[in-house]
Structure formats: structure tokens, C-alpha cells
Structure 1
Amino acid sequence: MYPGRHVQENPDRPALIMAGSRETLTYRQFDERANRVANHFRALGLRRTDPIAIFTENHLDMIVTMSAAERCGLYYTPINSFLSVEEAAYIADDCGARLLVTSAAKFDVAKQLPQHCPKVEHWLVIDLADPPQPFENFAAVIEQYPSTPADDERLGTPMFYSSGTTGRPKAVKRQLPDVSPQEQLGIEEMGKRLFRMREGMTFLSTAPLYHSGPQSSISIGLRLGATHIVMEKFDTEQFLALIEEFGVTHTMVVPTMFSRALKLPKEIREKYDHSSLEAVVHGAAPCPRQVKQAMLDWWGPVIYEYYGGTEANGTCGCTPQEWLANPGTVGKAFFGEIVIRDDDGNELPAGVPGTIWFRGGNSSFEYLNDPEKTAQAQDSTGTMSRIGDIGYVNEEGYLFLTDRQAFVIISGGVNIYPQEIENLLITHPEVMDAAVFGVPDEDFGEAVKAVIQPVDPDGGTEELAQRLLEFCTEHIAKFKCPKSFDFIDEMPRLPTGKLYKRQLRDKYWQDQKEKTSA
């Protein structure tokens, strides 16, 4: 979020363009506005390692605020803008935020936060001219401050909360080096090598910026002097249209965006020119093999993949060529060494699934206010850490994901990995989205359940369930096939692409618990 030399070298180059409103900030405008906010933070007494929170939709001033925090040495926490009052208040309170920035668009929720967040001392709201106390208007406040850099600029960093797909969200707190924000960071080198980013690129940002992947891509891009087109929210056809209109060279997506693009009518898919694309990076969630192959067939060898968590304890990546030679892989280790271990901590050979650990990466992270979870993520030697995924490596060292530990189905003593089944179901032409998980079963402990979002909103019939069962039986072992299918209007996916599977799964387990206790 620190543009550095590009402010002097390319002051009039657009740094940020909102895709819908077309509001734009040049590099000079962006830098001056971020400096004003940073000077306000200093005037409030905010100092290095102090925490703040940001609760807004994708907005220019959201990015400006993050940049200001990164100049003041602050920990800044972007809060999921779709959360309820209770959920947002929990994060603002848990992170210890001294200041919170929100927006008019989120004010129905935000105006209720002060009564739940006694630690927050200062409240700013964007695009609301005369907000009630204790809120102050963002623009009116920052215009009182100079546009020159604040004294003693120090590097700040985001402190993201997990998505909460397997429990209440926790903050991932990484060590904050005491350096100037002008220092070249490892993340910049990673962007160049892993994501094929380059100076002067045109980057299309497709996802909410409260998530680490989209946020870090803009952070890297600003350090490289890129022009960023920021989508307020993802729309599949608009995504294709923006690529053509702006000659987009780089973008980052999640696999559900691929799936939705592939299911557009052929005439829409062929309507837009995508020849400007140099690198399309995807991550954040598993990509079904068939979906990725279809995208490579459509767009050519421009699709790059990465795997890693917000913890930044290890990262993998693969080029299109590597993936085509090892279909389904998320790549080789780029940062840290992959170690696959069983439940007893023994290292496993190639081809055998187990818990994914990284050795020699960043093991210094902690889960804020949760020492037990922090301890579970690290081994006794302090040299290895994990984030809860299961997978295996092949003989060449390429990593293949199997599933999250929390969602492995144990049926009759046999481990079944839902991701494999989901990846198959999503390729069926009548399926828009799919979730697979275990539900209570008297004989086997758990049975495989599939919840389907059909392409046709009225298509969730017994006949479709039978067709899907036959489809599964044709392609995977019988014991992996769903024992039952349910249908849903809209899958509970986070805007970042992650499936909120716990929300689906817990309902079935709660229903069983109530039946048992009745």
C-alpha cells in the first residue's frame, strides 16, 4: 500500500479506478490523501503497533486508510463488510482497535458498534456528511491535515481474521519489522516471481479487499506502479468486459469465478477480447481440475496458481506449464519446505496423504488472544507450522490438496475427502455449485451428503438427484458417492470464494442432536 518512487516518477498515472463509479485517484492524489490520513493518525497519538479496524465495502478511501496505516507502523484489520453487528463488534473488540473507519453504505450496522466496542476511541465514517456522535466525517477530518509525509514513517501491516469457516474467526498476527515503508518487502519479490506481476501492469481486482489475497495483490501492485481497476462487487460479464476495455494484463480470481464464467452462454464468453492477459492468478480455495483445464483451453497458458494461508508460514505456486504436466497440483514450495506428517508426527512418503506442514518458513505468527490455537499450529521444535490442510506430494515434490482436516468424512472407519467429490459434481452441466460433507449415520458414523445449487433454480428434483448419483458412480468409487442429495437456492460462499460449509453441516448435526434428545 506504499507507492514509493512512483509518486515522483508517474504522478499522473491512475493508481486506482473504481470499476462501477469510475472514481479515480492518480499516484499523486493517492499519496497526498494517504499522507493526510497518516498525519491525522499521528495527531490522535496512534503509534507503531497500535491496532485500528476498517469496516467498509471496496472503496477508494478504504485503500487510502490501509496505506496510511502502513505509513504509521499500525496493525490494521479489514473487517468483512457483510458481517452482522455482533460479528463485526467481536472483531473490532478482539483486535483492540483504537480507531474504526466505516462508510455510509455500512452505517446501518456500524452505527450500532460503539455500544459494543468500548475500546474504540475514534470513529470515522466515509460519505456521510453529518454523522451522529461519536462518528466524524472522514473527508472533513482529514482535510485539516497536511499532504506531506508524517514524521518518522514506519512500516505497518494488516492483521486479518480467518474467515470462520470452521469456527469463530481468529486474527493472524505476524511480526512487524521496525523498518521504513520504503524498504523493499519480500511480498514484492513474491508478486514478481510467483504471480508474474511487473511494473506498469494493469491489474483487475475482483474480490473484497478485507481478504488477504486481494488486499496483498493491490499492495504489491502499488509498489510496482500498477493501475488497478477495483470491482465494487464481482459480476461475471462485467469481469470479461473490463478485461477488454482496460486491456487488463493481470488479475486475481477465485475458482468460483472461473466456474461462473464457463457457464455463461457461449455468445457472451466469445463477445469479449481477453488477449491482453499475461497472468491470471487464482487461489483462496481449491479449483476443480476440470474447471482449470477448461479455462486453460479458453484463455491459454496464462493461469497461475498459488497456495498458502494468511499465516504466511509457507507458500506454493505453479505455472500453467507445471500444472499441465501435473494436473491438480497447487505447485512446489516457493517459501518454506513441505513436510507431510501423520497424526503421530511421523513424516510420510510421497503419494501418502497427511497433514501439510511447512518447515523453515514463517513460524513466528500467532493467533491473537488464542495461545492454545497458536500452540496447535506449531510443532514442539518451533521449526514447523501448519494451517489445517491435508494433502500429499508426488515424487517430484508437487503438492496436491486433499481437504481441510475439519471436513474429512470418516464413514465406517474410512477417510473420505469431500473436495474430490465437490470437484467432480461442479463439472456436471446442471450443477452451479456443490458442497459435500458428513452427516450422522447410525451404521457408519457418518454418511456422505451433497448439497447442490442447480443451474436451473427450479431444477432441484429427485430426477436430478438420480442423474447426479449415476454421474458420481461412473467416475468415483461407490463408497465415496453421496448417499443423499439436497438442493439449495444459493450456496453460502464468502465473497472471497470460500465455502461456508460449517453453516450447512452444522444444521444436519444439530437436527440429529435434537432428534436424539427428544
Structure 2
Amino acid sequence: MPSQIVFAGQALSETSFLSGVKKIASVLVANGVRPDDAIAILMRNEPMYLQIIEACRYVGARYVALNWHGSAAEIAHILEDSKAKVLLGHRDLLNVLSEHTVFREQIAGIAVLAQATPRSIIERYELGTVTEEGGYQNLHAAIEAAEEIASAPQKVRGLFAYTSGSTGRPKGIVRPSHPDAPDRYMMYQMLAQGFMFLQPGDKFYMAAPMYHSAPNTLSLSALSATDVDIYIESQFDPEDFLKIVEREKITHAYIVPTMMIRLLKLPQEVREQYDVCSLRYSVSTGSPCPVDVKQAMIDWFGPIFYESYGASELGFMTLISATEALEKPGSVGRAREGTAIKILNDELQELGPGETGTIYIHSMLASGFGYTNSEGDLTDQELGGFATVGDVGYLDDEGFLFISDRKKEMIISGGANIFPSEIEAEILRLPQVLDCAVFGAPDEEFGEKIVAAVQLQDGQVLSLGELQHALEGQLARFKMPRKLDVHEALPREDSGKIFKKRLKDPYWEGAGRQI
């Protein structure tokens, strides 16, 4: 357990944190949650988020971390697919979703508990007045009235993560729940020691949204460590980060490339105001970190930056230090302890060093998974205890992994996974559009940006602003196209499949990377 959790200048002690956890567990049980059931969380970062997750440990429940940027239809689908018994959410987020019929219909059969949106979040996001609507249970009042659960913590079921499927429809990643399945709490403790190198007295900073798998897992790893303070921010602000590092002597942080770029954009005189020498470890996952960005951060903070290649299905698979990254530019590191990597060709034969093929991973801590609402089986994804998420790359003669492409068309923007087919389906509904292809292009800040290439109906015109306006309410904001290309005709194969490579290549020429 942490010695304290700090949020918006207020510290929550270990005793108060644990008392709240046990009361929330009682609230969940009172609302019908039993072992192996799922609950859903719709909140921005705050201590309550971690308390709800820890409460699931006492009940033996799984939790779905909902992306609060998601549309009402997306969230309704996940609630239905996960069979969530309870939804716990910030009041302002629930209010927005309640305006949509599809959401109201879906929550008719589940318990919804609303938590007052913290004042600091209201101010930071400029939410104005947040009214009490919807007739939901008051989570704070329910916690105050509850007794602490008497039972001991059970085996951790952990995050019930959702990822895009082959059709773009979110599908849940199902972990085995048999008696021999590993306790994920043990995994968190192992990550705290062997991946984050946490020691008693350390201080961990997290501003990335905890609905993402990596920030969620790293926060829980810090939570499982002994005598580690956790500093939570609901939103990343580059100068605020520097202030907090200096004032609180932060030792560990999760800083992704998008955050690094924002830090590097600060004026030199601002950067030089702050003493950041306490920071000795930062890890990045999700989008690849550009070599020049990593070098600039090392020049500023020192060689404290680690990078990992991971996936929601398989966890953190590699790790590379700053020193290794300078020696092996472009690599995402070697397989972690308990993990093995194979590179296979299309005939599923193992390839040698320097030969590019599909990346297959065996992970001791994340082996064995399936999907909800999955079409077909996992024959192409699993092989003899190894699994792939569709990425392509190679190993060098020292076992360092280099990722060169994706078999899937997944776009990673700001660390979020985005599936083009979902966006294409919505764009093709528009009366002006005859044909459409969506893909990722390099973006200096977010890693990739979404480009929509369209062929219009005769006589029609369409601007980017008009496209974005037409997609409001149908897609989450982070899935909105950021660039619109209008073509007389889109290139297609004889089979009818679009040659996306012809559309993408002009954007990636000279980028120094392919993903």
C-alpha cells in the first residue's frame, strides 16, 4: 500500500485510503456484485479511481475502465458486452451521456452511482456548474453509510480491457479465471520491482488517463509497492509537471512522447527555472518515441528514460533503457524476464536475426486470453503458447526488437488505439461521400494523426470542418479525422480493396519511421 496518495494538493493517507476501499467494496456487494462479475468506471484521474479498483480486489470482481472521450453508443456497447453490474462515474460525464437515448436504454438494467466531480477537475476542464441529474445513486452518500467489508482481499481479476477488433467493434479481453490462473496482484508487485524499480520512499507521478491499459497497470503496480507515494493529476500540464517534480521531489513518472514534445516546447527560460534532478525513472509505452525527441529529453533530464513495447492482451513485453536506446536507435528493447519473442514468416517458420516477419510473444504473466464478441477464432493469433497482435518487425543479433510495420491498420494517436474501419463506416454514411479510406499519418505531437481520404459524389463539396461536424455524436473526439484529402478516385485493387499504401506513403516519406 502507498504511504499516501496526493491529488489537487490534498493527501489521502494509507489508513483513509484503505477504509474507503473497504466501504466501496460493501457498496458494490450491496448492488449485487459478486466474484467474477464486472463493474464499469467512467471517471477522470483521481484517488477514487484507485479506491474503486482496489475494492474490486475485496469482492473478486473485474473492472472495465471506460474511455470518457467515447461516444454514448460506444460506451453503451461496452456496458452491454461486458455485462457490467454497476457503473460508477463522475457526475458531469454521466450528465452528458444521459442526453443520449442509447445510453439511457442501456443503463436501465444496471446500478449507476454518481460521484461528485472534484472541484479541481471542474476548474481545469472549465465545466461550469455541474447539476445533479438522472436520478442516480449518490456514491459519496453510499460510501458514508456503508460499513467496511469484513472479507479479506481475493485473487485479483484485474482490468477487463477493451480493444478494437477486426471490424472496429470494441471487444473485451478475457483472462482465465480458473483456480490455477495467476493472481494479477503478484504481477503488479513484480512490475513494481522489476520494471519500475520502485523502492520505499519513492514518489510516482501519473497524469495519463487511467482508462488506458499502461497507465492503469503502472498505477496499480505503484499501489502494490511498499511505502511509495502516488501523485495523481487529472490532466498533463508541462510546466505544472516541472513544478511538482521540483516541489515534491518526484522520482518516477509515466511520460509518453506527446508529453515529452509539450515539455520540449516550453521556452528555455521556463525549463531552466526548475530543478528536476530528483527524477530518476520515466517510462513510455504506446506510440514509438522519435529518436530526436528522446535525445533532447536525455540532454535535459539525463539518461532516465525507458521505453516498452506492449499490448493490452500481452502486457509489457520489452524494456529498453536510455543508454541502450542511444546505442540501438529505433529499438524498443529486449524481451523482459518471463517473456520470449519469435519472428515468424507467413508460413509460420521462425526467422533469424535481421529478417522481418510477424512478432509473436510468449508472456508468463499474461498468457492465455480470449475475446468477447469475437468473430472467428484465434488460430492466426496464437501458436504454441506464443501470440501476436499483428505487428511486424525483426530481432537483431543481440535480441533487440525493432518494429517496422503493422499488419493491422490500427492507428496509434496520443497512445490511443484507433481502428480505421469504424471511422470509415461513419464517413460512408454521409450523402456527399462515394468512397472513403482512413489511415494514420505522422504527427509531431501525437505520433499519428487521422487522415480521411474521400471520393465525393458528383457535384458535392466537403470541408474538414463540415466532416467533423457531421461526425459529432457518432465518434469520440480522439477518433475525429484531423486532415481531409479529396480525390477524384481512390486507388483500388482488382478485388476491390483500397491500396491504402499508395495513400499513406507520401505522408511517411522522410518521416524516418513507418509507424
TM-score tier by shorter-chain length is 0.7 to 0.9
Distance 1:173 1:374 in 2: 13
SS for the counterpart of 1:86 is: helix
What letter corresponds to residue 250 of structure 1 in structure 2? H
**Aligned with residue 404 of structure 1, among 406, 425, 433:** 406
Q: Structure 1 length normalisation: TM-score?
A: 0.74
Q: How far apart, in 2, do the equivalents of 1:151 and 1:384 lie?
A: 35
Q: Which amino acid aligns with 1:127?
A: A
Residue number in structure 1 paired with 2:193: 192
Residues 275 and 310 of structure 1: is their aligned pair in 2 closer, same or farther, counting only changes over 3 Å? same
CA distance in 2: counterparts of 1:320 and 1:514, whole angstroms = 42
Q: Secondary structure at the match of 1:157?
A: coil
Mapped to 2, the partners of 1:161 and 1:510 lie a distance apart of: 34
Query: Partner letter of residue 172 of structure 1?
Result: I
Q: Could you tell me how far apart the structure 2 residues matched to 1:432 and 1:48 are?
A: 39
- The answer as to 2:381 corresponding to 1:377 is yes
What displacement does 1:70 show? 2.2
The 1:122–1:405 alpha-carbon spacing in structure 2 relative to 1, beyond 3 Å, is same
Indicate yes or no: 2:187 matched with 1:168. no
Q: Does 1:27 align with 2:14?
A: yes
Aligned match of 1:99: 86
Asked if structure 2 preserves the Cα contact closer than 8 Å seen for 1:72 and 1:154, the reply is no
Alignment correspondent of 1:358:
361
Between the aligned partners of 2:398 and 2:290, the Cα distance in structure 1 is: 21
For residue 389 of structure 1, report the CA deviation from its aligned partner: 1.3
Match of 1:10 in 2: none
* CA positional deviation for 1:38: 0.4
Cα offset, 1:149, TM superposition: 3.8
Unaligned runs of 5+ in 2: 118-129, 412-438, 456-463, 469-476, 497-515
**What is the letter of the counterpart of residue 125 of structure 1?**
A
In the alignment, does 2:328 pair up with 1:339?
A: no
Q: 3-state DSSP class of the match of 2:242?
A: helix
Change (3 A) 1:231 1:178: farther
Distance in 2, matches of 1:352 and 1:43, equals 56
User: Which residue does 1:244 correspond to in 2?
Assistant: 246
**2:114 pairs with 125, 137, 150, which one?**
125
CA contact (8 A) 1:51 1:76 kept: yes
Flag the 1:138–1:162 CA change in 2: closer, same or farther, 3 A.
same
Answer yes or no: is the 8 Å Cα contact 1:248–1:277 preserved in 2.
yes
Distance 1:242 1:432 in 2: 24
Distance 1:286 1:73 in 2: 35
Q: Deviations over 1:381-438 (max 9, x none)?
A: 4x210112121111000001113223499xxxxxxxx99x84xx74xxxx88764879
Deviates more, 1:102-111 or 1:397-406: 102-111
Tell me by how many angstroms 1:238 deviates: 1.2
How much has 1:110 moved relative to structure 2?
3.6
User: Could you say what secondary structure the match of 1:106 adopts?
Assistant: helix
Is the alpha carbon distance of 1:364 and 1:509 closer, same or farther for their aligned partners in structure 2, counting shifts above 3 Å?
Answer: farther
Quote the residue 2:289 is aligned against: 287
What is the SS of the residue equivalent to 2:388? strand
Q: Which residue of 2 aligns with 1:90?
A: 77
Judged with a 3 Å threshold, the aligned counterparts in structure 2 of structure 1 residues 436 and 514 are, in CA distance, closer, same or farther, namely: closer
1:280-336 deviation digits (Å, cap 9, x = unpaired): 111111111111111111111111111111112661111222222212211110132
Q: Please give the residue correspondences for 1:494-509 in structure 2 after superposition, counting only pairs within 5 Å.
A: 503=481, 508=485
Cα RMSD of the aligned pairs, angstroms, is 3.7
Secondary structure of the equivalent of 2:171?
coil
Summarize deviations over 1:349-395 as a string: whole Å, max 9, x none: 2112221111364441112221526444223x4x2101121211110
Is the 8 Å Cα contact of residues 154 and 178 (structure 1) preserved in structure 2?
A: no
Equivalenced residue count is: 432
Distance 1:181 1:35 in 2: 23
Name stretches of at least 5 consecutive residues in structure 1 with no aligned partner: 7-12, 410-417, 442-485, 491-498
Q: Distance in 2 between matches of 1:120 and 1:22?
A: 38
**Is the alpha carbon distance of 1:402 and 1:501 closer, same or farther for their aligned partners in structure 2, counting shifts above 3 Å?**
farther
Q: Deviations over 1:69-114 (max 9, x none)?
A: 1221111001001112112111111111011001122122343465
Letter in 1 for 2:138: N
Normalised by the size of structure 2, how large is the TM-score? 0.75
Q: Does residue 81 of structure 1 match 2:85?
A: no
Structure 1 stretch 75-84 or stretch 161-170: which is displaced more? 161-170
